[in-house]
Amino acid sequence: MENLVKCVCQGYSSDGRGLVTVDGYTFPVRGLLKGEEAMVITRPQGKGQFIGEIKELLKPSPSRVVPVCPDYASCGGCALQHMSYDKQLIFKKNLVQSELEKQGILFDAKPCIGMNTPYKYRNKVQSSYSMDYKGRVIGGFYVEGTHQIIDIDQCYLEREEADQIVNFFKTLLEKYEIDPYDRSSNFGSVRHVVVRSAFKTNQVMVIIVTKTPELPREAVLIKDLVAKFPNITSIVHNINERPGNAVFGERDIVIYGTQYLEEELSGLKFHIAPQSFFQVNPVQTEQLYGIAIADAKLTGTEEVLDAYCGIGTIGLLAAKNARHVTGVEVVGASISSAQSNARLNGITNSHFYCEDATVFVRDALKDGRHFDVVFVDPPRAGCDFNFISALKAMKPSRIVYVSCEPSTLARDLALLKTDYDIKDIQPVDMFPQTFHVESVTLLSLK
């Protein structure tokens, strides 16, 4: 049952929603800022659980700004466009701090490093396609919490050329009468288009994801895309026949140009395969990895381990100041890219292994191998408990932990702090206008 109540925002949830308390229940309200008073519609979300929606804003905060995106209220891509950017940075610093305190870690994180221009920073864009009730092709993002696509012509987080490509592709589907895939009927072909852009080289890769093994009208799609956008150096057909929300299937077929995108980062070149992980904000990535390399304090004599190394970005940046770098990653395609990137840059003091990081460190311990410095850059789930146990047994002098999720960072630091002192925690805003935050933590062996 819905109710209309007057309430004051007391703080924020981890995903940037305002928190209010009514009749002893605390619940989130999207778009509400700390200190604001509003009339809020409450809706039950299960036993003792509620969610709120602003009906009328009574006392706005000085930190409130008008979102630049006209679709902000319905699109689920951003969460903080209504908050001034200086307050976004404070929110993110406090988010890291709050998670540390939950784990009993009494250490002050530094202020979050922001961007001069916190828009148009993404080098990877994904657009989904569907048909509206009039039978017209629409493309864009999902309405928050649904599988309903909202038709969007411009995203303010994405590079302008990427916007133009996904919108042009929408017109091609109409022109050549190619049906987008419909989940409910299991009919149609095209599921998504992903555009990857290299900011330094201006190369563009377009990945067309279909439900069907064939890409309808493949030849004319290629011809029209390349004629309209000469920066496209690669077009890939990805086949995803599986149900569910996963964007990519396992099969990538290069139908035009090269098998990779070439980008430059901090003086090195990187080949990025269609499904390889590469940070989405190249400007802030140089900040993030620069801090990580500086924290490692490499002198040229160290044995370095780059755990969860992906395509080898951190390890290769560290190699010029280390004796030797070993990278380990469980995804085989990423290791192939890392090895290729080492050759591309003439780096001979690095080796990359396709193996689970926990298994690798355990085997290294058994073999008596030792690493002086370990870089750790895990996915959002953080490090495996057994990996941390093995790492503590190995006793590297320094651990540099790059995190994209404050809660799992804090959990892992609570395990490491028995053997390591936390020396520095530096949040970096890799994702302006969203609630996500990355950070670099330096730990030193006690």
d(CA 9, CA 38): 8
- Angle 269-273-275 (CA atoms, 0-180°, nearest 5)? 135
Q: How far is CA 350 from CA 112, 122, 237, 268, 277, in A?
A: 32, 29, 32, 14, 19
Residue by residue, DSSP assigns 419-446 as: TEEEEEEEEE-SSTTSS--EEEEEEEE-
> What's the helix, strand, coil split of the chain in %, to 5?
25, 35, 40
Sequence-ordered alpha helix ranges (H) in 367-422:
385-394, 406-416
Residue 184 three-state SS: coil
Q: Annotate 62-89 with b (16+ C-beta within 10 A) or e (fewer).
A: ebbeebebebbeebebbbbbbbebebbb
Strand partners, 236: 207, 254
Which of the following is catalytic: 7, 9, 75, 404?
404
- Burial degree of 251 (CB within 10 A; 0-12, 13-18, 19+): exposed
Among the listed residues 199, 69, 193, the one whose alpha carbon sits nearest the alpha carbon of residue 123: 199
Q: Is 404 a catalytic residue?
A: yes
Maximum separation of any 2 CA atoms in the chain, in Å: 67
The set of residues, in sequence order, having a beta carbon less than 8 Å from that of 259 and lying 6+ positions away, is 234, 273
Q: What separation, in Å, do the N-terminal and C-terminal C-alpha atoms of the chain show?
A: 56
Residues with catalytic roles: 404
